[in-house]
Amino acid sequence: MSEQSVRPQRLLEVKGLKKHYTRKQGLFSRQHTVIKAVDGLDFYVKEGETLGIVGESGCGKSTTGQLILQLLEPTAGEIWFQNQNLTAMNEEEVRRVRRELQIIFQDPYSSLNPRLKVKDIIAEPLRVHRLSTGAETERLVAELLEVVGLGAQHLNKYPHEFSGGQRQRLGIARALAMKPKLIVCDEPVSALDVSVQSQILNLLKKLQQEYQLTYIFIAHGLGSVKYISERIAVMYLGKIVELATRDELFASPRHPYTQALLSAVPIADPRRKKERIILQGDLPNPADLPVGCSFHPRCPLASERCRREAPQFEQVRDGHGVACHYPLNS
Ligand code: SF4
115-162 pLDDT, tens digit per residue, is 999 999 999 888 888 888 888 898 999 999 999 999 889 999 999 999
> What is the structure's pLDDT at 7?
60
DSSP secondary structure of 201-222: HHHHHHHHHHHT-EEEEEESSH
Tell me the pLDDT of the chain (330 aa) as tens digits. 444 455 669 999 999 999 999 987 776 777 788 999 999 999 999 999 999 999 998 899 999 999 999 999 999 999 999 999 999 999 899 988 989 999 998 877 777 889 999 999 999 888 888 888 888 898 999 999 999 999 889 999 999 999 999 999 999 999 999 999 999 999 999 888 888 999 999 999 999 999 999 999 999 989 899 999 999 999 999 999 999 999 999 999 999 999 999 987 766 656 656 677 777 777 888 888 999 999 999 999 999 999 999 999 999 999 999 999 999 985
Mutate to test the pocket of ligand 1, among 257, 261, 299, 312 (most ligand atoms within 8 A of CB): 299
237-270 pLDDT, tens digit per residue, is 999 999 999 999 999 999 999 999 998 776 665 6
Average pLDDT value for the chain? 90
Q: Which residues contact 262 (CB under 8 A, 6 or more apart)?
A: 222, 249, 250, 253
Distance of CA 80 to the CA centre of its chain: 16
CA dihedral 309, 315, 316, 317 (to 10 degrees): 180
- Least Cα distance to 235 among 5, 42, 83 occurs for 42
Atom of ligand 1 nearest to the CA of 311: 1
> What is the structure's pLDDT at 294?
95
List the residue whose alpha carbon is closest to atom 5 of ligand 1: 324
Instruction: Say if residues 150 and 173 touch (Cβ distance below 8 Å).
Output: yes
Atom of ligand 1 nearest to the CA of 325: 1
DSSP secondary structure of 9-30: PEEEEEEEEEEEEEEESSTT--
Q: What whole-number distance in Å separates Cα of residue 258 and Cα of residue 25?
A: 33
In the structure, which protein residues have their CB atom closer than 6 angstroms to any atom of ligand 1?
A: 255-256, 293, 295-296, 299, 301-302, 306, 311, 324-326
Distance in Å, CA 221 to ligand 1 centroid: 21
Instruction: Say if residues 84 and 10 touch (Cβ distance below 8 Å).
Output: no
Distance of CA 153 to the CA centre of its chain: 32
Mutate to test the pocket of ligand 1, among 240, 295, 303, 313 (most ligand atoms within 8 A of CB): 295
Atom of ligand 1 nearest to the CA of 241: 5
> What percentage of the chain carries pLDDT values higher than 70?
94
How much is the CA Rg of the chain, to the nearest whole Å? 21
Atom of ligand 1 nearest to the CA of 296: 3
Task: Read off the pTM.
Answer: 0.91
